[in-house]
Amino acid sequence: MYTLISVLTIIASIFLILIVLVQNSKGGGLVSNFSSSNQIMGVRKTTDFLEKATWALAIAILSLSIIGSMAIPHNKDAAKESVIIEQVNNAAEIPIVPTVPGKSTNDKKENN
């Protein structure tokens, strides 16, 4: 399922790139080639179609991304504690009272 959603997201992204490249914000692009009035789609309808296709693909990519994040396969057997917690649990015990350098335990007994 996750692979299918990933492939659909990539295909939608490629189509979005192509549609954005066809458009020209200055009024040219694909729209300028359809200047004659006997075309099936006029200039205004081509602009509307490209704009609607851009929005539809952007929404599709957003939706597929959210669905894809929910469909990521999770292996529950491998969902153990984090590595840091494992290292803390496996670490050797640290002495509670640190020893002072230069003084041995015998020096303390002699002073008492």
- pLDDT, tens only, 8-60: 999 999 999 999 888 766 655 555 555 554 455 555 667 788 889 999 999 99
- For residues 68 and 2, the answer to whether their CB atoms sit within 8 Å is yes
Rounded to an integer, what distance in angstroms lies between the CA atom of residue 19 and that of residue 13? Answer: 10
pLDDT at 42: 53
Is residue 84 predicted with pLDDT exceeding 90?
no
- Residues sharing a CB contact under 8 Å with residue 75, sequence separation 6 or more, in sequence order: none
pLDDT at 2: 86
Q: H-type helices in 1-112, by residue range?
A: 2-22, 43-70, 83-90, 105-111
Structure tokens at 86: 């494992």
Helix (H/G/I), strand (E/B), else coil: 86: helix
Residue with structure tokens 């992204």? Answer: 13
Domain range summary for the chain, segments of one domain joined by +: 2-23+36-70
* Mean local confidence (pLDDT), 70-86: 68
Note if the pTM is more than 0.85.
Answer: no
